[in-house]
Each structure stands twice: as structure tokens, then as C-alpha cells.
Amino acid sequence: MPLLPRATRRHLLLGGLTAIAVLPYARPARANDQQRLVDRAKLALEEFLDDKNFEVMRAYVQNAEAVMVFPELLKAALLIGAEGGNGVMLVRHETSRAWSNPAFFTLFEGSFGLQIGGAATAVVLTIMNRPAIDKILTTQFKLGTDARVAAGPVGPGVGAGTTARFGEDIYSFARSRGLFAGLSLDGAAILPKREWNAAYYGAEASAARILRGEAGSNPGADALRATLARF
């Protein structure tokens, strides 16, 4: 076999090294992204469970028809604020009251005002009725517009035995890290992440089919469902 010219050999060598360098970053269909989010949602719920400031949140989860967990909403603001993050939604079975497998959603919101700072916030939304669930699954859903949303009570003096009145469609509970002490989600849009749902369950897995139990299951979500059942 004739020896290849020096320039050709150098080109092939560089190409091979480039391929080797890129190889670790080539992963199929982002399958690990969904599991990481499910695992982070479980950890976020555990942090709420362990925080005495959120004891009353148990009553809201126990009476909710669905729960959404956003492990980390990121907010950065300098005159114009922007907020967003990925999360999961689980729905109670109407008869057994067991939690469904999680479907993937994204939340995003923009606001205007004199705001300087940044925060990473874990947010849990307790959805108290079926019409609100239907709107999330059938419309380009906006909090405060398509369903009423209010901040759930928080504080060391508010215990799980406190009488709770569930007059709103959705209640939000937030644990913030950073310069923003509060969180307003009015006007925030919530949309399904179709590609993520398909990657985690299969091509035919829409958010509605997942939450109705029609898209199979993924054992990677069992720990998340078990943690939610602890409430």
C-alpha cells in the first residue's frame, strides 16, 4: 500500500483527534436531561418537607388535584426582569388518589420595573381543581389570567394544623436564594415541553396522555412520586 502524502496524513490525524475530543459530548436525545430534572424536583420537594417554614404547605399538597415543581426558576434583572425554568407536573388519579408520572413543562415570565439583583428560586404550585388542570393542558396557559394564583402562607408560626381555606385555583410556594425576597407569578406562561416528554416516555407521549396514565411509565420517576406522597 503506497504511503499517503505528509499533508494528507496530518489532515487525517487532526480530524481523528477532533472526533475523539468531541465524542464525550455527543449524547442521544438529551435523555439524561429529563432524569436530572426529575431528580432535582425530588430534592426540591425534600427541602420543602424539611423546612419548618413550609409545614402548612402539606395541607395544600394533600388537598391538591395536581402539583407542579420547578426546582430552579432563574431570575436576572436590571430594569427589565426575566424569569424562567423547567419543571414537572403530577396529577392525582381521581379514584385511587395516587400521583401520576411527571410530565415536563416550562415556565417563563417577563416584568418591567426598577429591579436589580438575581435569584434562584425553587417553586411548587398546588393546583386545587380539575378545571385549572384542563386549562394548563389545552391552552397557552397564563397564571393569573387563565386561573387565579396566590402565594401560600409561609412562616415559622404557621403549622400544618392551621385551618386552610382553598379559595384560589393555584397556590405558589417558593424558596429563594439571592436578592429577591418575594415572587410574583402573575402573567407567567406555562407550556408543555413536547420534546422532553417524548424523550422520556416515547414518541406518542403528550403531557395529557402522560398525566392520564396512557403513555406508559418510567421507573426513574418512582422516587419523585414517593416523595410527593410523603406530604
Is residue 39 classed as helix, strand or coil in its secondary structure?
helix
Residue 16 confidence (pLDDT): 41
With a cut of 80, say whether residue 91 has pLDDT above it: yes
Domain membership of residue 7 (yes or no) is no
Q: What pLDDT digit, counting tens, does each position of 207-227 carry?
A: 999 999 999 899 999 999 999
Domain membership of residue 165 (yes or no) is yes
Domain membership of residue 3 (yes or no) is no
Name the average pLDDT for the chain: 80
pTM metric for this prediction? 0.78
Look up the domain containing 214 and give its range. Answer: 29-229
In whole angstroms, what is the distance from residue 127 CA to residue 25 CA? 38
Number of domains in the chain: 1
Domain membership of residue 212 (yes or no) is yes
Q: Which residue has the cell 411509565?
A: 217
In whole angstroms, what is the distance from residue 140 CA to residue 14 CA? 49
CA geometry: angle 8, 11, 17, nearest 5 deg:
140
Q: What pLDDT digit, counting tens, does each position of 71-84 carry?
A: 988 765 544 555 68
Tell me the mean pLDDT in the region 80-103.
Answer: 88
In whole angstroms, what is the distance from residue 83 CA to residue 174 CA? 14
Domain membership of residue 12 (yes or no) is no
Beta strands in the chain (DSSP E): 66-91, 103-127, 141-142, 149-151, 170-178, 189-192
Domain membership of residue 93 (yes or no) is yes
Domain membership of residue 13 (yes or no) is no
Q: Is 162 left (phi over 0), alpha (psi -120 to 50) or beta?
A: beta
The β-bridge relationship of strands 141-142 and 170-178 is unpaired
Domain membership of residue 192 (yes or no) is yes
With a cut of 70, say whether residue 7 has pLDDT above it: no
